[in-house]
Amino acid sequence: MTDSPRLQPRVGDLSEGELLDRIFPRLAGLGDPILGPGDDAAVIAAPDGRVVVSTDTQTEGQDFRLLWPNGYRSSGADVGWKAAAQNLSDINAMGAVATGMVVSLTLPPQTEAVWVDDLADGLVEAIRALGAPGCTVAGGDLGRGSELSVTVTVLGSLEGRPPVLRSGARPGDTVAIAGRLGTAAAGLSLLEHGPRYGDLGPALREAVRFHCRPWPPLAAGPAAAKAGASALMDLSDGLLKDGDRLGRASGVVLDLDEPSLRARAALLSEPAGVLGADPLAWVLGGGEDHGLLAAFPPASQLPRGFAAIGSVVPAAGGPGGVAVAGRPAQPSGWDHFAR
Amino acid sequence: MTDSPRLQPRVGDLSEGELLDRIFPRLAGLGDPILGPGDDAAVIAAPDGRVVVSTDTQTEGQDFRLLWPNGYRSSGADVGWKAAAQNLSDINAMGAVATGMVVSLTLPPQTEAVWVDDLADGLVEAIRALGAPGCTVAGGDLGRGSELSVTVTVLGSLEGRPPVLRSGARPGDTVAIAGRLGTAAAGLSLLEHGPRYGDLGPALREAVRFHCRPWPPLAAGPAAAKAGASALMDLSDGLLKDGDRLGRASGVVLDLDEPSLRARAALLSEPAGVLGADPLAWVLGGGEDHGLLAAFPPASQLPRGFAAIGSVVPAAGGPGGVAVAGRPAQPSGWDHFAR
């Protein structure tokens, strides 16, 4: 602490202990770790003798901006929410349920301490709102750097089931998705190129908010596993790119129905109109929706939250990939729509 | 890939997939994950139904330099080794055995791709050399940023034992340590203020190397747990500061023997002489040795690797802390020796 603290202290004014004393109380009340923060490591239950683990870093300027061209200002809670949501989505995509996370923050000294409080609140809000009540925030690490970054590592339980991999899709399976397609990309375009945030109507604000606070359908992953999904993955880099990955991993082609894709695009007509953009490009190439792409065996009843968007066909000697209405699609063809 | 790749490609020339294709083969052959890298998440065994977890970020300019004032150049392997070692030490400090790690790398585009290969090799070297053969590198994340940083999250197994906490030391216990005291600080002083690295003799080089590649005694943590240690923690911020934490967590005072501390200081007489430094300050205040500080009940036989350095006495109405030869020590008094 400096001799004359400002009313709004900055990270550089506080010791690591003082910062942790602000943060830890905000993380209480989630889940029930065997041992929570404060020792050299935390201990979390892994009831079926296995633990699912995934890690992901968000860096300012690369993965998010604090101030966007349209005037929207990402709050600490937005950044915390998104960091939690992205990682929870990876656990969801294995058909698993999150049990805990640890968080490593790198903070420039001029960061306001309340922004960090807010980030902790955003993590907790996401865990509660998205439906991961068994997920505790069990510990973390604070460090300084010139660039703000947040690394979340999340653990999960398969609850006795096998993990649902990308490699299990078979010809004849139904291709289905849970969650949004293209909304996060529409939101990103509005943040980068749209009218000022304050002037946006509710539907456009909602797209912006969805980009900043994605909403992975956390009930859908375990439901897909229970329903016998043959393959499952997180939709983070766009439907064609992720579909290509799943198709190659399985050695099959995911043949997507054009009408379902166009119906999805129609949902984005308002932001597309404002920006003069092609909403189908968002549906096919937009990332960060954090929905699920799944394949289900032919006779399956799709679990709640999933909608069919195509079918799995043989790779016909190729490495597998993705097609739209029977025509092979080039995921790289949509790269100019990517960030 | 650019149209005219350089002979030594940089991170900015490669896609994430191309980088991962270089890295993953280097990580093979460690441990035996249930599911390794390549899907949305990895799956690691947690045989006793619990998992120990810790996370830590190293940031260039804060936690390491690529080029030090004495001319030493940190290799990617140094940075990978240290990132692995620090995290393995946290698992060790719970009395646990590492089972897996995930790694998130943030890389400036101008980073040479071979430097990243080297970092992966350093992770593997540390895991092998330090003695964590059951620890797999199960996955990770690659992103770009303006500042190089490495976040490792490590998982471990308690093998059916309770975790050994900081809070269990009781009056009458023996205070013991495993590993070095002050060597990493001596190495850091040489890096920052010493003669050119190329001019150093073997003992001084060894101190520099120990700072860059710390050597946590990974057999000692589980051995302490098996021997009934009442408290255990990683020595990362200096003996007095970490001793104060353990003392406060346990509500006792760790009373350290002056002769044992002076004997440790005597081992650092050569770097101290070169730098005109007080080696006792390194022993008491120097961080990053990643040894273990432990308390053992009175009748215990200390396990291999531990040496007694004091005894636990009552806190006498205070919050607990650390003392030297019966005189309360102020951990903050050594702060001017810290970085």
Mean pLDDT, to the nearest integer, of B301-328? 96
Are A290 and A220 part of one and the same domain? yes
Burial class (CB in 10 A: 0-12, 13-18, 19+), B302: middle
- CB–CB contact B41 A146 (8 Å): no
> What is the enclosing helix (H) or strand (E) of A141?
strand A136-144
- Co-location of A185 and A146 in the same domain: no
Exposure letters B171-196 (e unless 16+ CB within 10 A, then b): bebbbbbbbbbbbbbbbbbbbeebee
Instruction: Based on the fold, state whether residues A38 and A137 are members of the same structural domain.
Output: yes
Length of chain B counted residue by residue: 339
- Whether B164 maps to a domain, the answer reads no
Closest CA to B288 of B149, B156, B188, B148: B188
- Residue A209's domain comprises 174-337
The span from the CA of A225 to the CA of A97, in Å, is 11
Same domain, A267 and A119: no
- Asked if A140 and A196 sit in the same domain, the reply is no
- Strands (E) across B48-179 are located at 50-59, 97-107, 136-144, 149-157, 174-178
Are A104 and B158 a contacting pair at CB < 8 A?
no
Please give the pLDDT value at position A331.
Answer: 81
Q: Looking at A187-196, B8-17, B187-196, B289-298, which range is the least confident one?
A: B8-17
B178 and B153 share one domain: no
CA B160 to chain centroid, in Å, comes to: 24
Is the separation of the CB atoms in B289 and B151 below 8 Å?
Answer: no
| Spatial contact of A113 and A13, defined as CB atoms under 8 Å apart | yes
Residues B227 and B93 in one domain: no
> Do residues A145 and A260 both lie within one domain?
no
Predicted pLDDT at B285: 94
Handedness of CA B21, B27, B29, B33 (dihedral sign): negative
B202 within a domain of the structure (yes/no): yes
B117 known member of a binding site = no
Quick one: pLDDT at residue B332? 63
- Among candidates A49, A53, A57 on the partner chain, residue whose Cβ is nearest the Cβ of B41: A53
Write the CA distances from A170 to A97, A320, B39, B203, integer angstroms.
25, 11, 17, 62
Last residue of a domain, one of A130, A157, A184: A157
Same domain, B143 and B185: no
* Type and span of the H or E element at A296: strand A291-296
Residue A132 lies in a domain: yes
What one-letter code names the amino acid at A174? T
Asked if the structure places residue B182 within a domain, the reply is yes
Q: Which residues of A touch B37 (CB under 8 A)?
A: none
Q: How many CB atoms lie within 10 A of CB A262?
A: 12
Measured torsion, CA atoms of residues A213, A137, A104, B322, in degrees rounded to the nearest 10? 150
Domain presence at residue A260: yes
pLDDT of residue B20: 86
The CATH number covering residue B305 comes to 3.90.650.10
Contact A233 B40 (CB under 8 A): yes
Tokens (6 digits) for A335: 């790269």
Q: Is it the case that residue B339 has pLDDT exceeding 80?
A: no
Mutate to test the interface with B, among A51, A144, A154 (most CBs of B within 10 A): A51
Looking at chain B from residue 264 to 323, which residues have their Cβ under 8 Å from any Cβ of chain A? none
How many structural domains is chain A composed of?
2
* Higher pLDDT pick, A333 / B313: B313
Q: Phi-psi region for residue A75, left (φ > 0), alpha (ψ -120 to 50) or beta?
A: beta
| pLDDT 10s digits, B153-211 | 999 999 999 999 999 999 999 999 999 999 999 999 999 999 999 999 999 999 999 99
B59 and B180 within one domain: no
Q: What is the mean pLDDT of residues B1-6?
A: 50
Chain B closest CA to A261's CA: distance in Å?
A: 24
pLDDT band (50, 70, 90) for residue B104: very high
Positive or negative, the CA dihedral B292, B90, B333, B286 is positive
Dihedral, CA of residue A217, residue A313, residue A173 and residue A185, to nearest 10? 10
Provide mean pLDDT across the span B291-316.
Answer: 96
Q: Which residues pair with A256 in a beta bridge?
A: A310, A324
Ligand-binding site membership of B213 (annotated): no
Question: Is B237 annotated as ligand-binding?
Answer: yes
Q: Which of A105, A129, A157 is the last residue of a domain?
A: A157
Compute CA B50 distance to the chain's CA centroid, rounded to the nearest angstrom: 23
Which of A21, A32, A44, A55 is the best substitution to test chain B (most B C-beta atoms within 10 A)?
A: A55
Cβ neighbours of A313 (radius 10 Å): 18
Is residue B28 scored above 90 in pLDDT?
Answer: no
In a domain? residue B166:
no
Are A33 and A132 part of one and the same domain? Answer: yes
What was the pLDDT predicted at A6?
A: 56
Alpha helix (H) residue ranges in chain B: 16-27, 76-92, 113-130, 183-193, 202-212, 220-226, 239-250, 258-266, 269-275, 279-285
The DSSP code for B290 is: -
Mean pLDDT of chain B: 93
Residues A154 and A97 sit within 8 Å (Cβ to Cβ)? no
Residue type, position A166, single letter: R
Look at residue A335 in the predicted model and tell me its pLDDT: 36
B255 inside 8 A of chain A by CB: no
Q: Check residue A337 and give its pLDDT.
A: 27
DSSP β-bridge partners for residue B97: B157
What's the first-to-final CA gap in chain A, in angstroms?
A: 41
Q: What distance in Å separates the CA atoms of residue A306 and residue A176, rounded to the nearest whole number?
A: 6
Whole-angstrom CA distances from B141 to A58, A151, B16, B172 are: 10, 10, 9, 47
Which residues does A116 contact at the CB level (< 8 Å), separation at least 6? A11, A19, A22, A23, A76, A105, A107
- Rounded Cα gap, residues A191 and A146, in angstroms: 24
CATH number at residue A153: 3.30.1330.10
Between strands B252-256 and B306-314, the pairing is antiparallel
Taking 50 as the pLDDT cut, the residues of chain A under it are 1-2, 333-339
Q: With pLDDT > 90 as the criterion, what percentage of chain B qualifies? A: 86
Does residue B136 sit in the same domain as residue B32? yes
Number of H helices, E strands in chain A: 10, 12
Mark which of B109, B126, B157 sits at the end of a domain. Answer: B157
Dihedral pair phi/psi, residue A80, rounded to 5°: -65, -45
A51 to B32, B50, B134: CA distances (angstroms): 13, 9, 15
In a domain, A4, yes or no: no
- In a domain, residue B193? The reply is yes
- Nearest residue to A308 via CA among A300, A316, A318: A300
Q: How far apart are the first and last CA of chain B?
A: 40
